[in-house]
Amino acid sequence: MFFVLKLVLLGFYAAALASFAGLLPIGAADRLQNIALVVLAIHAVELLVMFKHVKRYPGGLTLSILLTMLFGLLHWRPLAQQAAASNRLNVPARPEN
């Protein structure tokens, strides 16, 4: 499912870039560009808030930042889930009284 949503986002960004080339009607182009800027701003906030998960990406920090800016939670949520799963496995058992 994340793969499909990532493809949709890439298509959205491609359409926003195409609007700069004048390939879309003017009203739609302006609206699409504004929405793309809002999406990127939201992803920038996500990057700041979820940085502890973003830096867990095995492919390098720069790539992880780029992927977070493009895909937002579609990138960092699996990393957060992996961290939560590993924390559950490493939690020491409660001492019995």
- DSSP 8-class letter at 60: -
Q: Are 37 and 13 in contact, with CB atoms under 8 Å apart?
A: no
**Dihedral, 68, 72, 75, 80 alpha carbons, nearest 10:** 100
Mean pLDDT by 10 residues, the chain (97 residues): 94 93 88 95 96 93 96 95 84 49
Q: CA 83, CA 81: separation in Å to the nearest integer?
A: 5
Instruction: Give the count of beta carbons closer than 10 Å to the beta carbon of residue 27.
Output: 8
Predicted TM-score (pTM) of this structure: 0.82
Query: At 92, which amino acid appears?
Result: P
| Selection from 61, 55, 56, 43 nearest residue 82 by Cα | 56
Residue 93: the pLDDT is 45
Residue 27: the pLDDT is 85
